Amino acid sequence: MAKKRSRLEVIRDILQVIKDRSGKIKPTHILYKSNLSHQMMEEYLGELISKGFIVEHRAKDVKGKTYSITEKGLTYLSKFSLISEFTESFGLG
Amino acid sequence: MVQFYLIPRWFFGYGLALELIFAAITFAVALYALLIYKYSRIRECKLFSLGFFLLSFSYLSWAAVGIYLFGQASSGTEILSIDDVTLVASLGVYGHIALFVLGLVTLTYMTLRKKAMKTFTLIASLSYITIIFSTWKIIAFYFVSSLLLFYVVIYYIGEYAKNRKSTSLFVMLAFIFLFLGTADFAFSAAHHVNYVIGHVLHLIGYASILVSFIETLRPLKYGKKT
């Protein structure tokens, strides 16, 4: 049985999905790729927006919302190993 | 008159060196936690960093008292009693007490994982009031500190049970030794041996934190990114 993902890993996976699309991504794609329930995904997206890791767009030409990754989000991805090692060891995750 | 500590003269230099080492370790961990907070925006990292910065400054304050007393002590003194020191040294000791307690309150508050400033101010004010209105301030200080560390220890036992990682084990052991050392310091106003034992136990505690801290830097060493 696969090990349950930690919060930090879920955040990494969401950011990775958005980054891989190299632009704007719809919430349905995030839902499909991140393997979360709709409610959980909304919670995570809200948290990522408040932390400044992603931004929400509401364009007229695209139906509904889209998301893109910010510099802070990219930094989180590149430093993920350091973050997870430290937070797990010191009980901060 | 409030008696603070009884310090054997032979240990004075060692004690001072250890306090500076504790200050350096806690400062390094605090700085790194702040960096991790900058990357991750995890609230607990910010609180952990703040708690360790306060502990670091409290050890610096304690070391400053040591440096001051080192110059004041006459060569024939075998045991120094910090109960008749000048205002400067008293301020240093009280500075250490205030910063150390606030650091531990911040760490205890972090372990609660609740965003409620009322809880933080309640723990802080209860801790300070207990010390301020106690006749034996040094015993009250170490009793309060031990109690706060006890809750931190419980938290880290839970964290180790969850992770089963060697680094989590070292952190758990570190806080257990810090708890034991702090409890032991409560008797340093009665006997000078406790002052030495307290330092040794804290040294083991901070050495464990340092080991765990260095281990967490491994991804940096091997250039591992994600």
Q: Answer whether residue B80 shows pLDDT above 70.
A: no
Using CB atoms within 10 A of its CB, is residue B128 exposed (0-12), middle (13-18) or buried (19+)? Answer: middle
Q: What is the mean pLDDT of residues B4-12?
A: 76
* Span of A56-70, B65-79, B98-112, B152-166 with lowest mean pLDDT: B65-79
- The HSE-up count of residue A79 (CA atoms within 13 Å, CB side) is 18
User: Which amino acid does the sequence have at A61?
Assistant: D
Q: Do B48 and A90 count as a contact with CB atoms less than 8 A apart?
A: yes
Contacts of residue B1, defined as CB under 8 A and 6 or more positions apart, other chains included, come to B83, B84
Nearest beta carbon to residue B216 from set A72, A80, A85: A85
Contacts of residue A35, defined as CB under 8 A and 6 or more positions apart, other chains included, come to A13
Q: How far is A70 from chain B (nearest CA, A)?
A: 12
Q: Does B48 touch chain A (CB under 8 A)?
A: yes
| Sequence-ordered alpha helix ranges (H) in B133-191 | 137-163, 166-185
Nearest to A57 by CA among A14, A22, A10, A23: A23
Number of separate helices (H) and strands (E) present in chain B: 8, 2
CA A8 from centroid of its chain's CA atoms = 9
Q: Do B218 and A75 count as a contact with CB atoms less than 8 A apart?
A: no
Q: What is the mean pLDDT of residues A59-65?
A: 70
B17-59: pLDDT as tens digits = 999 999 999 999 999 999 999 999 999 999 999 999 999 999 9
> Crossing angle of helices B87-112/B137-163, nearest 10°?
30
Q: How far is A62 from chain B (nearest CA, A)?
A: 30
Q: Does B45 touch chain A (CB under 8 A)?
A: yes
Q: Do B171 and A81 count as a contact with CB atoms less than 8 A apart?
A: no
3-state helix, strand, coil in chain A (%, to 5): 55, 10, 35
Interface test with A, best of B152, B178, B216 (most A CBs within 10 A): B216
B178-220: pLDDT as tens digits = 999 999 998 887 788 888 999 999 999 999 999 999 999 887 7
Q: Does B32 touch chain A (CB under 8 A)?
A: yes
